[in-house]
Amino acid sequence: MELQSDFGERTINELLLMFRSRQINLEPGFQRQSVWSQVDRRRLIQSVISNYPIPSIFLYRRHVKGRLVYDVIDGKQRLETLFMFVGAGRFKRDAYLLTVQGDTDSAANRQRRAEILRGLLYSLFERKDAKRTFSSEQRRIIWNKDEKKICVRCKKKLRWDDFTADHILAYAKGGSTEVTNAQLLCRRCNSKKGAR
């Protein structure tokens, strides 16, 4: 049998979907039993969030009773860390929380930060459609990560049900629809801005 190889990019969401539909085998017989420390896991998540490149993952594709299964040849710890981070499958929420917690944080703070980070992770690896409006998931992240929650123009205190997510660099000028290019505006200021 000839061994064929192909190279491609997968988003974390795609890998997650494959894992959830039981297509990824993290435990092929030949895997080493090495386990990453929490520090290793934290570093990987930080790299993802900072948009740093991540080393390639090698999978071996085979057919099992008409289904595709991918054995993880290299990248088990990386994949596990990502699945842990989003609390997928058998990876418990607790295990994942450990990867982002600081010792001095309250549980509520950890929880909140974990949600923000998880949202960031998703949004970074969503397919980058040329979309103009922020998704509801992005809006949630933009809202959560903003400390002041006031309109950047008129400084009015905003509420969850009346804020708008505005492009810092306008979409029309090439600004991306990503949480890093978003600011909070009240409806009034947003419509005034749009009218210019």
Q: How many residues bind Zn ion (CB under 5 A)?
A: 6
Q: Give the one residue of 110, 112, 113, 153 binding Zn ion; rule: CB under 5 A.
A: 153
Q: Is 193 in the site for Zn ion (CB under 5 A)?
A: no
Task: Provide, rounded to whole angstroms, the least separation between the CB of residue 179 and Zn ion.
Answer: 20
Neighbour tally for 106: CB within 10 Å: 8
Q: At 13, give phi and psi (nearest 5°).
A: -60, -40
Among 154, 168, 169, 170, binds Zn ion (CB under 5 A): 154
CB 119 within 8 A of CB 136: no
Q: Which is nearer to Zn ion, 179 or 185 (CB)?
A: 185
Q: Residue 31 has which token pair?
A: 């895997």
Closest separation between CB of residue 186 and Zn ion, Å?
3
As measured in angstroms, the least distance from the Cβ of 154 to Zn ion is 3
Which CB sits closer to Zn ion, 88 or 150?
150
Return the closest-CA partner of residue 75 out of 117, 19, 157. Answer: 19
Q: How many helices (H) and strands (E) does the chain have?
A: 7, 5
Q: Looking only at Cα atoms, what is the longest distance across the chain?
A: 68
Distance from chain centroid for Cα 43? 14
> Binder to Zn ion among 12, 72, 117, 151 (CB under 5 A)?
151
Residue 186 binds to Zn ion (criterion: CB under 5 A): yes
What is the contact surface with Zn ion in residues (CB under 5 A)?
151, 153-154, 156, 186, 189
